[in-house]
Amino acid sequence: MKTDSLLEKIFASGQLALTSECGPPRGAAPDKVREKAELLRGCVDGVNVTDNQTAMVRMSSLAACIILKQMGLNPILQMVTRDRNRLALQSDVIGAYSHGIDTMICLSGDHPHFGDHPMAANVHDLDSVQFVNMVKNMRDDGKFQGGADIDTPPKMFIGAAANPFADPFELRVSRLAKKAKAGADFIQTQCIYNVDKFEKWMEGVRDRGLDKEIYIMAGITPMKSAGMAKYMKNKVPGMDVPDEMVKRMSGVPKEKQAEEGIKICLETMERLKGVKGVAGFHLMAIEWEHRVKEIVERAGLLPRPQF
Amino acid sequence: MITAERKPMEEILEYVRPCQRILLVGCNECVTVCAAGGRKEVGLLSSALQMAAMKEGRTLEVKEITLERQCDPEYVEELASQVGDAEAIVSMACGCGVQELARRYKSMRVYPAVNTKFMGASERQGVWAERCQGCGDCLLGITGGVCPIARCSKQLMNGPCGGSTKGKCEISQDVDCAWQLIWDRLKALGVEDRYEENIPAKDWRTGRGGGPRKIIREDLAQ
């Protein structure tokens, strides 16, 4: 084992790992974090805490992770290179690990263009691949990026993201290979609606043996309504929602659309369980944390393994 | 070239409102090519400023001069005999030219009439686009001649983010995805393997990270 991460233990045991998400509030409201996170207790093995997602200012990911940790939950620190240079990233990694946070996700982050501070400067001192590599070297070599020794290196289990649906499709397997080479231990993918395309990507992943090098968690987001399906299809960059899915959601009365969304989500998970190389699920129930338990239960993934 | 765009008229007027005589100085280099501050634009701005002043019931005398290069002390020296009784110099050159005038003519107020934008190339008539950020350590040899630092919105050095769609950047349909362009070039050259080389964290000391930069060529410096 490289780390003490619960996620690593579950992957190593060969059982499907399960993570979900908690977006921190836009204010100094720790109770809101607790409220959301409490809904996920016992349902998942780790909770991603997002870092100024969609480029909107929120409670810092690290602070919210500490709240989760104090609740006895298992937070996963998301960090983006958009807002911090390598000095700030490394100090936060050490800080997080000092609070017992041992699992993280290295991302580049949404462009400020999408948020409420489009006038902000982009940092991007590092990209996500370089960020992964920096955290790996901190852990394995005990070195800061600048070369100096770290007194008590942080042993982070390192995650990254992959979007099999973005263009150009033909280099998406190579992009994963670069993240694996940089030192990522696991991957959470973009939300999967086009399962055929995901399977094609996984085929490429297996052909190169990458599924043996890196644990791949399939990204799942249940649709709450036909409106959400249309929005995801048309407005979210890099999202691939097939027409038939929008049609299926639109085909049921409004009050039954949420249930239909969950049904689709469960069917997708069932099919993905059969895809070789899928090591778990990342359930992004956006502002729908109270439905996670039900989804996980109906997917036959409860109780969660204990270590 | 260094590209620029003329500032809004009101901003320039604000600068020159207290003046009766100004020197309006263009530059024959980049700003001429990008039609922002060459001889022609100097003439146009001169007329516009005088008309605006007249409308406000003032007179404004504008002496127009376009130097060969405003970023070069040798040419900037030519202004010495022209400054005369002007109360301000308005420069239509890039920020380098404006600063060179301010350095040489210390007692003069020097105002910029253009916003300096970026180092770019002409895409077609009337359209210029950013190509280089002067990072001081050129990557173009390994990225197929397309710069990810200047042309990727997140300056990603190891491939496209998850927002690349049909060759376009997630921030706008008007922005090409730099990594799509890089990938297309690597394929055309038959060197797709090059994509898989992880580009390490960049040393920004060669860029702005190291503070204001200077080149000293010992063989040329006196």
B153/A contact by beta carbon, under 8 A = yes
CA distance B199 to A123: 18
Residue contact A127–B180, C-beta within 8 A: no
Closest approach of B165 to chain A, Cα-based (Å): 5
Q: What is the mean pLDDT of residues A267-279?
A: 98
Q: What is the mean pLDDT of residues A127-146?
A: 98
Which chain A residues contact residue B154 at CB under 8 A? 82, 108-109, 111, 122, 124, 127
| Domain layout of chain B by residue ranges | 2-117, 133-199
Q: Which of B155, B162, B180 shows the shortest C-beta gap to A238?
A: B162
Per residue in A3-36, pLDDT (tens digit) is 999 999 999 999 999 999 999 999 999 999 999 9
Phi first, then psi: give them for residue B7, nearest 5 degrees. Answer: -70, 160
Residue contact A128–B158, C-beta within 8 A: yes
Residue contact A130–B199, C-beta within 8 A: yes
Checking ipTM against 0.90, whether it exceeds it is yes
CA distance A128 to A124: 9
Rounded to whole angstroms, the maximal C-alpha distance in chain B is 69
Q: What percent of chain A has pLDDT over 90?
A: 98
- For B143, the token pair is 């990225």
Alpha helices in chain A (DSSP H): 6-13, 30-38, 61-70, 86-98, 128-140, 172-182, 195-207, 210-213, 226-235, 243-250, 257-273, 292-298
Q: Which of A86, A111, A125 shows the shortest C-beta gap to B171?
A: A111
A62 domain residue, yes or no: yes
A276 domain residue, yes or no: yes
Query: Which of the residues A83, A111, A239 would you substitute to probe the B interface, choosing the one with the greatest number of B C-beta atoms within 10 Å?
Result: A111
What's the Rg (C-alpha) of chain A? 19
The domain of A181 spans 6-298
Q: Which of A108, A168, A237 shows the shortest C-beta gap to B154?
A: A108
Long-range pairs for B203-210: beta carbons < 8 A, 24 or more residues apart: B203/B137, B204/A125, B204/B135, B206/B135, B206/B136, B206/B137, B207/B133, B207/B134, B207/B135, B207/B136, B207/B137, B210/B136
Q: Which of A113, A127, A174 shows the shortest C-beta gap to B156?
A: A127
Which chain B residues contact residue A108 at CB under 8 A? 154, 156, 161
Q: Is the pTM of this model over 0.95?
A: yes
Residue A287 has pLDDT above 90, yes or no: no
A61 domain residue, yes or no: yes
Which chain B residues contact residue A133 at CB under 8 A? 198, 200-201
Residue contact A167–B167, C-beta within 8 A: yes
Q: Which of A82, A166, A177 shows the shortest C-beta gap to B163?
A: A166
Per residue in B96-110, pLDDT (tens digit) is 999 999 999 999 999
A1 domain residue, yes or no: no
Residue contact A237–B157, C-beta within 8 A: no
Q: What is the mean pLDDT of residues B169-197?
A: 96
Q: What is the mean pLDDT of residues B44-67?
A: 97
Q: Which of A82, A167, A177 shows the shortest C-beta gap to B164?
A: A167
Q: What percent of chain B has pLDDT over 70?
A: 100
Residue B222 has pLDDT above 90, yes or no: no
- Who contacts B26 (Cβ-Cβ below 8 Å, separation ≥6)? B32, B37, B38, B39, B41, B42, B64, B65, B66, B67, B92, B93
A82 domain residue, yes or no: yes
**Residue that is written with structure tokens 């993240």 in the block:** A179
Number of domains chain A is built from? 1
Q: Can you give the CATH number for the domain in which A36 is found?
A: 3.20.20.220
Instruction: Give the per-residue pLDDT at A300.
Output: 97
A306 domain residue, yes or no: no
Correct CATH for B2-117 of 3.40.50.2300, 3.30.428.10, 2.102.10.10, 3.90.1150.10: 3.40.50.2300
Strands A278-283 and A157-162, by their bridges, are unpaired
Closest approach of B32 to chain A, Cα-based (Å): 30
Residue A246 has pLDDT above 90, yes or no: yes
A291 domain residue, yes or no: yes
The contact set of A with B (CB < 8 A) is 82, 86, 108-109, 111, 113-114, 122, 124-130, 133-134, 145, 161-163, 165-168, 171, 174-175, 177-178, 181-182, 190, 237-238
Q: Which of A116, A117, A131, A53 is closest to A85 using CA atoms?
A: A131
Q: Which of B161, B195, B200 shows the shortest C-beta gap to A174?
A: B195
Per residue in A167-200, pLDDT (tens digit) is 999 999 999 999 999 999 999 999 999 999 999 9
B200/A contact by beta carbon, under 8 A = yes
pLDDT-based confidence at residue A138 (cuts at 50, 70, 90): very high
| Chain B, nearest residue to A171 by Cα | B183
